[in-house]
Structure formats: structure tokens, C-alpha cells
A and B are shown apart, each in its own frame.
Chain A
Amino acid sequence: MSGDTDRRAFVLGFVAATFAAALRPGAAEAAGGAIKDQPWAVWDKNDKPVRGGYFRVAAEQYIGKMNPNHWPVNDWVSMGYFHERLMFNDGQYKPTVPWLAESVKFEDPKTVLMRLREGVTFHDGSAFDAASIKYQMEWIKDAKNQAWTLGMMAPLESIEIVDPLTLRWKFKQPWAAFNGVMTNVPGYALSAKALQADGDKYDIDPKGTGPYLLEEASPGNYLKLKRNPNWWFAKASGHPDMPYFDGIHVSVIPDPAVRLANLRAGKIDALTLEKSQYAAVRNDPNLNIYRFPGNHTAGLRFNTTKGVFQDIRLRKAVSHAIDRRALIAGTQFGLARIASCIFPGDHWCHNPELKPVAFDPDLSKKLLAEAGHANGLTVKGYYPNTAIGQTVAEAVRNMLGKVGITWQVDLLAPAQSATRMREADYDLATGGWTWVFDPDPTATGLYHPGGGFNFGRSKNDQVIALVEAGRQEIDLEKRKQIYWQMEKVLYDAYEDAWLWWDETVVAYRKQVQGWKNEGFMKYRDAWFWAHPLWFKDGKQ
């Protein structure tokens, strides 16, 4: 997670993992029940999946360490092939879908009772049960094991084994974020047996519960996974042939153009496209292309406590001077939605009443004149020095220039921009957020005085009060209202100039069957793993 707009589209879109500071979301109660009764597990009767073939994909980087709690993990897609999580987020990024956990129930704000699925085994044959989860969580909490997720588990006091498949989690303080953390990295179930035997070896020889298990690893080159014949979900869902591929081959191909060449040459079966590649392949008869919302907001950040943008009229002037539609067409190849506020349009905390700020350069000029800058205004700031960053900065600079605002924008590397951000040394700079899951890290990070991306540049008392209220509210509906209200206040105050919400494009070879965009958008990961893809006639 980062507050940077320079988003790296490194997942096929279905792995929703954050690598972040502790999450503190509202609590949810995840209902239990048989798999086949779950709405995300319903199958279309017309689909007749067949087994066979190796699914070939490309990763930008080699996975690195295969224990998700060890840093770095460069390929979370592959992680999801052999590890599964206790919980999933739904299509609105709400942590409500039970996966390896069958049910999660808050007994009180400091106690959770969790029931686990029956019949789940790890790749090393050991049982997935209450004892293994207890061991894993204690392993994460033991500093000598160097789990970067340790901080995320800080509120955990102890785990009590109620029966072989039931755990009672006890917290040091009320922990509303618990579900969110279970959908996150600590929620990946790892074999306690393997961890116990050699915690370091786990980095290269992982033992999860997932649909595929590691067959061969060639660091920096490829991963070869083979079908897990004992995948619990196949039995539990009544689809014994799941997963349908005999295995998965992940090649590391750093260059995006070469990844596309591999797809077009039929050497790989699926690819998350660069936006610039979409136009070139959208009519390729050998490919199926799917677009769906991405979890990323791009925006421009005002310094509202220092300099000219303390004046809301000038913030307004900037926001109305930007032609967001043109910006998306020109810099994002049309692959984005106009943003109206910080949470993406499909996020449960986004206030649907907010309409995008209108492009109105005349209003901007009027506002500038009212604020005493009829003869022009000069502001400074920074933007990422990537190729796409340069394009966006240039486009925005031109749009502002047309209404008389001169944006002196420096194109900076991340380390340099971090310094500028920390010193609040800007009027208008890159902003936004990648991976918005629980609303609090984003809201706190950008708008709370203690936020890691604020450093005193935003101090809206109304917003701050709402951010703090949101942290404590356990009732999901009430919590949603708090964030809707927060977005409304941000919007009215022109606290930032939000530009667009991202879109993701994936391409599959026609031979690959089973992708359902609607289902995926509704249930994301849970849908994806409940409906594994297959090759037509089982032939690669």
C-alpha cells in the first residue's frame, strides 16, 4: 500500500493483499454454512469444465520469499495459488466472506470465536486445524521469526483452542480490524508442521492449503506448480475435479512488451495488460479481454495549511480547471473512471451521492479573480518521475496554465518526493491511494494529523473527528455512514483534487474458459477461487 499514484499493476486483479500497517476496520460477522449454499459459489449449469493442461502466466518479478510473512514477496498472484486465507473481502472490499474460516463471531469487542472448515489439509499432509493456526499466529508474534506482519497482530493477546476446529481469539483491546487482518497477509494459513521444522526453509518450500502446490522453483526464472489433488474446496463444493489445470507455470518476464509478445505468441495464457496495450489487443481474435474496476484512486494533494491553498477558492479553482475526462483519455488510454472522492466508486465507504467536480475553466478564472489572483498564480509541487507520471504532470500543468495557474512541478523519484512530503514542501503534489481495503488507513494516512502521508498538510477538524469515529464503530452500517459523511465533508471542502479511479484489464487466450466478469466484480477472490478456470476440452 502506498499513497502514491504510481501504481504497479502487478496482480491479475483477483489477489487483494495489502502489505501495510495495522488495519483497524469495523467488525463484521461472517456467517457460516455449507460451501454450495454460499452465493459466491453458485455455478452456471451450462459450464462444463474439464481438467487438463498447464496454465502458463507471467510475473513481473520472481516471487522472492514464499512465506507471505517474510519480506519481500514480489508476486502475490503466485502466493494465492498455494496459500489460502481465512477470510476474503467481497466485491466492495468488505471483509465478510469466510474461506478457510467457516464462521467468525465477535463474542465481545475483545473476543472472537472462529470455527474452521473441516477436512482441510496442508500440502505436507498435516491437518489444518485450531492448533496449526494457533502455532502460526504465535510464530508471527515471535520477533525472532522476523515476520513483517508482526505489527499487524499486535492487538492479539492469546488464542485458546476450544475444540480441534474452533478457536477463541483474545485481544488486548477491542479489535474491530480483526476480520480485515484475516483477509490480509497474516490470514494466509501456513503449515505449522513445516514452520516448526525449519522456518527459514519455508521461504523456498512453502506448505499451504491452496489448489496448487510447489513442484519446482527456479529463482529469478520460473515457478512450476502442480495441481493439489487433495484440495479441500473440491470436496466441500462438490466439484471433485477442481482445480482444473494440471499445474501452473509462472515465468518471470520483467518487460511488459515482452509479456504481451508471449501472450500473442501463445506462450502464456493470461496477462494483466498495461493500459497502453489495451488498444492494440482489444480486437485480437485469439484473446478474451476483460475490464474491471481497479482498487486505486489517483489525485492531487493540496497543502491546505500552508501557502495559497489555505484559500478554498483557489483549491476550487484548481479542481474545476482540470478536464478529468480528457486526462483519462489522454494519459490513461481511457481506462479509468472519473473520481469524485478518495474511496473508489465500488468501495463500500464511497458516498454514491457525490458527483465528479465539473470541468469549468470559467469558474476557475472567476474564483482566481475573486481571490485576488486575476493576473495569475504560481504554485509549486512534485509528481513521480516515471514515464506515465511525466505525461500526467504535463497534462495537468497545461490545464492549469489555461486558467492562469502556473504549476512549477518537479518530477521526483520516490525517495525525493518522500522528503518533500515529510517537510510539507509543496502547494500541489501527487496524491491518491493504492489498495483501499479498510477505509481507515487511507483516511488516517491522508487526512488525520497522525497519518503517514499527511505531515500537517491537511487539518480539517470535521474530517478528523469522523476519522476517529470510524475507527471505533463496530457496526458496519453505522461505520459506512461515518465514511460517507467524511467523504461529503472532504468533497465540500475541496480538500484534494481527486482525478480518477483505476481500471484493470486482463487478457486471456480464447482457450481459457470460465471467467465471469460480473461474478468476479461482485465477490472478487471468493468468486475467483470458487470458479477455477479451465482449458477448453482440457487442451492447452
Chain B
Amino acid sequence: MGRFIGVRLLHALVILALVTVLVFIIAQLMPGDGVLAAMAGSIDMSDASAVERVRKQYGLDQPILVQFGDWLARFVTGDWGTSIGGGEKVYDMFMRRLSPTLELFLGATIWSIGIGIPAGIIGALKRNSAVDVALTTGTMIGVSIPAFWEAIMLIYLLAVIFPILPPSGYVPFFEDPWLNIKSMLLPTFVLGTHSAGLLARYVRSSLLEVLGQDYIRTARAKGFSERAVIVLHALKPAMIPVVTVIGLAWAHMLGGAFFVEVIFAIPGLGRMSVDAIFQKDFPVMQATLIAVTLNVLLVNLLVDILYGYLDPRIRVRR
């Protein structure tokens, strides 16, 4: 198992290195001079000295390789540059915005697992019953509903018509735990429902497949109750493909976090990325891209480890 994790870790590092280079190259390939494009309309572009000044300030006058070397050296030492947009250190900015996003992800995952797995299990057990049809329809809606619409409807329902929750905003947990939870309920729900629907469908089909396996019949023949059969024999193997889905869902959540953070006005990494893209804020964009990569790699690693735990056949093969 240790060797297995080691190999995976090495893979992850290689990919990270490649992405780092790629991120830098992509930034170079962006049409136009990023900083200048971003500043168009706000500085007098006919003022050559002003343009030159800006280029120099962001090191755009240096050869590309030098720019890359400089950038990488600074990046690994935690100097991620200064945001063009806010004048803040990108590293500080990133760290401050990490916790709302992590909280969002975590909450969304809890919703997603909390709804998706039980719904999937019930759907599989009561296959083709009214309950199953209701759940399948519900999960279909969960998957296909435009999250933007869902968010606005929920805000109007639960913050305007029945003013139970705040419509938007973020309060750190340690500042006001209760308000924090209240304000995170809707965003995490909206972010979670999409993957919950997906998860429910995967759990249902995976569990149905497992329940059709011979070893489940063996377990029944041992005298286990249906519930014991599911808990002791079916869930673990059924979770193997589901773990992948959870991992994928988590990795894709940053995409969802983009708009959930925008809609619910949560100062997290997703919104920071959106702002950075719109403002062509290069240092922030680079940090974001690497963070996205890291997130995906870490999740993949976690999924691999979980796989190893769930499926002994994989553990030995490596």
C-alpha cells in the first residue's frame, strides 16, 4: 500500500510540473498583452511611456524563459506575485479565500453524499416502486436543473418570501458559527444537489449490479437480513465506482463553485478566479490554475487510496 501511494504521488508531481509549464505557456499565448489588455480603456494607450511603465512593472519586457524562471522560483517560495486587480499579495489572497471555498466544497459534498447515497440505496432496494420512480425523477431534476435558476428560486423562496435564511453573503465560522451555517446552507445545497443527483443514479445502478451478484445470494443464504446483506456485503463493492464519481464531482466542483460563489456572493477561490479572468489578472489566474490542478491531483490520489482500501484486488496488483 505504501509503495502504491508512493507511485501515485510521483505521478501527481510529474503532472503538476507539466501543468506549471503549461500554465505559464498558456498565459504567454493569450491574445494580446494581458496586462495591457486589462488596462485598455483605463490608461491612455497613446501614452507610450505609460504603456512601457506598466510592461516593466509586470516584467513583460523580459525574455520568456527569464520570465518563467523568475516566476517559478518565486512561486515555489510562496511569492505568487501581486494581484493586478486588488493590489494584494496573491498568496495571502489565495489563503484567505481558501476557507470559504473549502467550506463550500465540504458542505456540498455532505449534501451530495447525504442525499445521493441514501437516495441511490432506496432506489435500488425499492426498484421500480413509486418511491424509486419519485427518487429517479428527483435525481433527474437534480442533475438537469440549471443551477443558476435553482439558486435564484431558492433565494427568493427562503430569503425573500419566507425570510429564514440570508439571501447571500459569507460570514466566517469563527466569527458567527450560526450565521455561517445559515448562510452556507443554500450555496452548499445548490452545489451539492447536482452531484447528489448524479451520485444517486450511480449508487442505484452500482448497487443494483452488486445485488445481482452471486456473492450477495451467498450472503442471503447465510441467513443475513436484507439490511445486513446490503451493509455488510453490498455497500463496499458498490462504492468502488461511486468513489470515482465522488472524486470527479469534487474535482468538477470548482466549476460549480465559480457560479455558486458569484451568485451567493461568497468571497472564495471560484469567484476570485472569475474576477481574475474578467480582469485578466494574470498572477491570480496562474495561481488559480495551479490550485485547480492540485485539487484534481489530490482528489485523484485520494480516490486511488480509497480504491485500494475498497478493492483488495487493486491493492495487490501494484
Contact = CB atoms under 8 A, between A and B. Distances in A.
Tell me, yes or no, whether A and B come into direct contact in the complex with CB atoms closer than 8 A: yes
Contact of A146 (B38, B53, B155, B279): B53
Interface stretch (B21-29, B112-120, B221-229, B264-272): B264-272
Given A252-B267, A261-B168, A262-B167, A220 B41 contact: no
B318 to A, nearest CB: 43
Interface string A1-40: 1100000000000000001011000000000000000000
A265 interface: yes
A62 B279 CA distance: 12
Given A151-B50, A220-B271, A265-B160, A258 B97 contact: no
Contact of A254 (B41, B97, B262): B262
Contacts of A72: 38, 42, 84-85, 279
Contacts of A255: 168, 262-263, 265
Contact of A151 (B39, B43, B152, B267): B43
A171 to B, nearest CB: 18
A264 B166 CA distance: 11
A65 B265 contact: no
B103 interface: no
A203 B44 CA distance: 21
B263 A218 contact: no
Contacts of A253: 168-169, 265
Interface stretch (B2-10, B86-94, B208-216, B297-305): B86-94
A366 to B, nearest CB: 41
A117 B155 CA distance: 48
B265 A64 contact: no
Contacts of B152: 257-258, 261
A65 B47 CA distance: 22
Contacts of B41: 1-2, 19
B272 A258 contact: no
A254 B271 contact: yes
Contact of B267 (A64, A218, A261): A218
Contact of B31 (A219, A265, A267, A415): A415
A200 interface: yes
Contact of A265 (B87, B93, B159, B264): B159
B307 interface: no
A510 interface: no
B168 A258 contact: yes
B267 A219 contact: yes
A255 B87 CA distance: 24
Given A22-B44, A65-B87, A148 B39 contact: yes
Contacts of B274: 254
B150 interface: no
28 contacts: A2-B41, A19-B41, A22-B44, A65-B86, A65-B87, A71-B42, A143-B53, A151-B43, A151-B50, A219-B93, A220-B93, A220-B97, A220-B271, A251-B169, A254-B263, A254-B271, A255-B263, A258-B155, A258-B168, A261-B156, A261-B159, A261-B167, A262-B167, A265-B167, A267-B159, A267-B168, A267-B169, A415-B31
Contacts of B47: 150-151
B215 to A, nearest CB: 51
Which 4 residue pairs are nearest across A and B when measured between Cβ atoms?
A221-B267, A151-B44, A220-B267, A253-B265
Contacts of B42: 19, 71-72, 148
Interface residues of B, number: 45
Interface of B: 31-32, 37-39, 41-44, 46-47, 49-50, 53-54, 57, 84-88, 93, 96-97, 152, 155-156, 159-160, 163, 166-170, 262-265, 267, 271-272, 274-275, 279
A222 to B, nearest CB: 8
Contacts of A150: 47, 50
Given A148-B39, A265-B163, 5 more contacts: A64-B87, A146-B57, A255-B168, A258-B155, A415-B31
A70 interface: yes
Interface residues of A, number: 41
A72 B86 CA distance: 7
Contact of A261 (B32, B44, B155): B155
Contact of B49 (A143, A264, A265): A143
Interface in A35-79: 61-62, 64-65, 70-72, 74
A71 B166 CA distance: 33
Given A255-B263, A258-B264, A261-B155, A204 B57 contact: no
Nearest to B279: A72
Nearest to B100: A221
A218 B171 CA distance: 11
Contacts of B53: 143, 146
Contacts of A74: 85
Nearest to B168: A258
Interface string A253-285: 111011001101111000000000000000000
B170 to A, nearest CB: 7
Interface in A355-383: none
B131 to A, nearest CB: 34
Contacts of A71: 39, 42-43
B44 A415 contact: no
A101 to B, nearest CB: 25
Most buried by B among A74, A204, A261: A261
* Most chain B CB atoms below 10 A, which of A65, A253, A255: A255
A415 B32 contact: yes
Contacts of A143: 49, 53
B167 A148 contact: no
Interface in A309-368: none
A150 B44 CA distance: 9
B256 to A, nearest CB: 15
